[in-house]
Chains A and B, each alone.
Chain A
Amino acid sequence: MLQMKNLSKVYRTHMIETHALRGFDMHVKQGEFVTVTGPSGSGKTTFLNIAGLLEEFNDGEFLLDGVDVKGLNDNARSRLRNEKLGFIFQGFNLIPDLNLFDNVDVPLRYRGFSKAERRERIEQALAQVGLASRMRHYPAELSGGQQQRVAIARALAGSPKLLLADEPTGNLDTQMARGVMDLLEVINASGTTILMVTHDPELAVRAQRNVHIIDGQVSDLVRKMPSLRVTDGDQIAVA
């Protein structure tokens, strides 16, 4: 599903060069649930941004669902992002002026679905996260956990192959975090690949595999979880 080989990302200012990722290798198979951990500044978010086609990389190779993304223009990257990826953020990132229905509608609009198909997908996605009855409510009227569930519905509505989650439970209390995590596991069980950045070791161990990043490289601290469903080809190359 996601294949990065010898990837590097350098942030340059006129004073300094910062190597956010160097010789970074990662291979995530279709259907995996992978958590990414690491200390602050280790390059977790940079990795997730590159994986989400939100940032470009300097060197290396990156195949997303078999598509070589290097050199793609903005339109092609946007289309790929819209069709293959779903995002869940720590801060939910719902648009406050739009109700839940219209928030979930945003990615579907860019996909060009018909009105009927959009409605069906929105209702189905909101039902999946248990918020079908509140689709005319606005984000401010919901709790943090509910808002994150709306964000998950928005990410799911377009049937993405890969769900990228950046600290999805970071702004939630423990109970709500567990609820969101349960939901992600259900989604993964239905076949969606999930890549989740987290600081929470309790959540990290719930995934099938945990990748630890230190100083822009995948460290040798790689845990295989007992519930691992992907049994072959899951080696993580360490640069």
Chain B
Amino acid sequence: MFQYYFNLGVRNLRRNPVLTTLMALTLAIGVAASISTLTILHMMSGDPIPEKSDRLFVPLVDAGPLDRYTPGQEPNDDQITYTDAVNFLQSGQGVHRTALFGVDGSVETQRADLGVIAAIGVATTADFFPMFNVPFLHGAAWSNADDQNGGNVVVLSRPMGEKLFGKDDPVGKRIRFLGADFQVVGELDTWEPVPRFAHLMNAGGGAFGQIDDIYMPFRTAIRMQERNDGKTSCESRNDPGYDGFLASECTWLQFWFETKSASDRSQLQSYLDAYSHEQLKLNRMPRQNTNRLFNVNEWMSRLHVVSNDNRVSTVLAFAFLLLCLVNTIGLLLAKFSVRAGEVGVRRALGASRAEIFKQFLTESAVVGLVGGVLGLLLSLGALYLIGKQSTRFEVLAHMDWQMLGLTFVLALLASILAGLLPTWRACQVLPALQLKSQ
């Protein structure tokens, strides 16, 4: 019977075309508003590396002075010192470890037509690439020897590689960056995690900003006396010069551990606690504050990747959908009320109330399907316009298959919900009364 009711629903779309169009449009606008904002929220809050997000951890230890510190005070620093970063790199904890900070400079090649190109980059270790499942188009990450010796090697992002060398394999070619010569050892394939979780704290626009163009060894950047292109916090005085800066308790580095399994978290936590006790013996970490670990999703939550504004927008969009639903209920009531005669006839010919209920609810769902198609088109249009607003939104305003499916489910649910009252009213028709008045 479902197919019969579905066909009747499709046929009845032509009945009262103005009402039908109004209903489908009302639903479509409500669905489009909800889906557009939900898509943005979904992209913002999605797990960027689901296969290992529970095995990647950011460690935070409190190396601040006792001045202005109240015991039990929640640490508010999200980066660590150079001393701790180097110690963690040498700790042997987890299967991979990496420290990173932002570097900013200009790139030159031997091509005179290109001139000087501004680039943002990351100083990190070779572990960065396997730990974040970074794909390579050409070449590979630099060697451990380059990590140890601070070799002048770089890995280019795909857009930067294509900008500098076109479609050619850039491996082995040379570029000039930060005033020094570097050899290209690898070019990434397209890698645009949303949010850019591995390097959330950056000067390139935050969680949804521009992707990094160049990756260089951590030790090379230190040798070149580079400072973080981003936030640096110093709560106490430090000795002058770059060496003084490195030896200070200023926090400016981000760090990641990758463990073999999620259950190794407690082991890593024990290491951090033991580390902080050991540092106290070396007259560091006087606060002995709580040492914390954050997996990828906890880390994004801590850094408020999804702002409250986004959540409020989504709630408002759904409130708007509710308003559209109320309107659709009114329109469906009007559409179904003129069908009382047909209900009477069908009841007389053997339809039970349950059959009438199924028929009219299916008809509502057909309107919902049309609303879903229109809503999808409107959503895509809205996302296109949102994407045009800024680079930040451009990476977010993409509908994946989940949201595509959700558009139809939402439209169907909305139409069925809107159809409940009008359908129930249709079922209450007294056939005897209708048949006589026909």
- Name A residues whose Cβ lies closer than 8 Å to a Cβ of B: 45, 49, 52, 54-55, 74-75, 78-79, 81-83, 87, 89, 91-95, 97, 106-107, 109-111, 154, 158, 166
Q: Is the CB of B344 within 8 A of A93?
A: yes
Point out the residues of chain B lying under 8 angstroms from A93, CB to CB: 341, 344-345, 348, 435, 438
Confirm or deny: B353 has a beta carbon within 8 angstroms of a beta carbon on chain A. yes
Q: Is the CB of B341 within 8 A of A79?
A: no
Q: Is the CB of B350 within 8 A of A54?
A: no
Point out the residues of chain A lying under 8 angstroms from B11, CB to CB: 97
CA distance A92 to B341 in the complex (A): 11
Confirm or deny: B12 has a beta carbon within 8 angstroms of a beta carbon on chain A. yes
Interchain CB contact (< 8 A) of B350 among A89, A95, A107: A107
Point out the residues of chain A lying under 8 angstroms from B354, CB to CB: 74-75
CA distance A45 to B350 in the complex (A): 19
Contact indicator per residue, chain B 318-360, by CB within 8 Å of chain A (1) or not (0): 0000000000000000000000011011111111111100000
- Quick one: given A54-B431, A93-B435, A95-B342, are A79 and B350 in contact (CB under 8 Å)? yes
Q: Is the CB of A82 within 8 A of B350?
A: yes
Q: Is the CB of A78 within 8 A of B355?
A: yes
Q: Is the CB of B355 within 8 A of A81?
A: no
Closest chain B CB from A115 CB (angstroms): 11
Point out the residues of chain A lying under 8 angstroms from B432, CB to CB: 45, 49, 52, 54-55
Point out the residues of chain A lying under 8 angstroms from B12, CB to CB: 97
The count of residues in chain B whose C-beta lies closer than 8 Å to any C-beta of chain A is 25
- Name B residues whose Cβ lies closer than 8 Å to a Cβ of A: 1, 4, 11-12, 15, 341-342, 344-355, 430-432, 435-436, 438
Interface centre among A55, A78, A107 (most CB of B within 10 A): A78
Q: Is the CB of B355 within 8 A of A54?
A: no
Interchain CB contact (< 8 A) of B438 among A79, A91, A110: A91
Q: Is the CB of B351 within 8 A of A45?
A: no
CA distance A54 to B344 in the complex (A): 9
CB-based A-B contact count at 8 angstroms: 68
Point out the residues of chain B lying under 8 angstroms from A106, CB to CB: 345-346, 349
- Quick one: given A75-B354, A93-B438, are A109 and B4 in contact (CB under 8 Å)? yes
Point out the residues of chain A lying under 8 angstroms from B355, CB to CB: 78, 110
Point out the residues of chain A lying under 8 angstroms from B346, CB to CB: 106, 110
CA distance A83 to B349 in the complex (A): 9
CA distance A110 to B4 in the complex (A): 11
In the complex formed, the residue of A with least CB distance to B345 is A93
Could you pull out 6 A-B pairs where Cβ atoms are within 8 angstroms? A54-B347, A54-B431, A74-B352, A78-B350, A81-B348, A93-B348
CA distance A78 to B354 in the complex (A): 10
CA distance A49 to B431 in the complex (A): 9
Point out the residues of chain A lying under 8 angstroms from B344, CB to CB: 93
Point out the residues of chain B lying under 8 angstroms from A81, CB to CB: 348-350
Q: Is the CB of A78 within 8 A of B351?
A: yes
CA distance A49 to B430 in the complex (A): 11
CA distance A94 to B4 in the complex (A): 18
Closest chain B CB from A79 CB (angstroms): 7
CA distance A75 to B357 in the complex (A): 13
- Quick one: given A89-B435, A109-B1, are A95 and B345 in contact (CB under 8 Å)? yes
Closest chain A CB from B329 CB (angstroms): 23
In the complex formed, the residue of A with least CB distance to B342 is A95
CA distance A106 to B343 in the complex (A): 12
Interface centre among A107, A109, A166 (most CB of B within 10 A): A109
Point out the residues of chain B lying under 8 angstroms from A74, CB to CB: 352-354
CA distance A133 to B299 in the complex (A): 75
In the complex formed, the residue of B with least CB distance to A158 is B350
Q: Is the CB of B349 within 8 A of A110?
A: yes
CA distance A55 to B4 in the complex (A): 27
In the complex formed, the residue of A with least CB distance to B341 is A93
* Other A-B pairs, 20, CB within 8 Å; known A91-B435, A110-B346: A45-B436, A49-B432, A52-B348, A54-B348, A54-B435, A74-B353, A78-B355, A79-B350, A81-B349, A82-B349, A89-B438, A93-B341, A93-B345, A93-B435, A95-B345, A106-B345, A106-B349, A110-B349, A110-B351, A166-B435
Point out the residues of chain A lying under 8 angstroms from B341, CB to CB: 93
Q: Is the CB of A107 within 8 A of B435?
A: no
In the complex formed, the residue of B with least CB distance to A91 is B438
CA distance A45 to B433 in the complex (A): 10
Q: Is the CB of A97 within 8 A of B15?
A: yes
Closest chain B CB from A65 CB (angstroms): 15
Closest chain A CB from B358 CB (angstroms): 11
Interchain CB contact (< 8 A) of A107 among B349, B353, B431: B349
CA distance A109 to B11 in the complex (A): 17
Closest chain A CB from B203 CB (angstroms): 65
Point out the residues of chain B lying under 8 angstroms from A111, CB to CB: 350
Closest chain A CB from B379 CB (angstroms): 32
CA distance A54 to B434 in the complex (A): 11
Closest chain A CB from B90 CB (angstroms): 77
Point out the residues of chain A lying under 8 angstroms from B1, CB to CB: 109
Q: Is the CB of B347 within 8 A of A78?
A: yes
Q: Is the CB of B435 within 8 A of A78?
A: no
Point out the residues of chain A lying under 8 angstroms from B15, CB to CB: 97
Point out the residues of chain A lying under 8 angstroms from B353, CB to CB: 74, 78
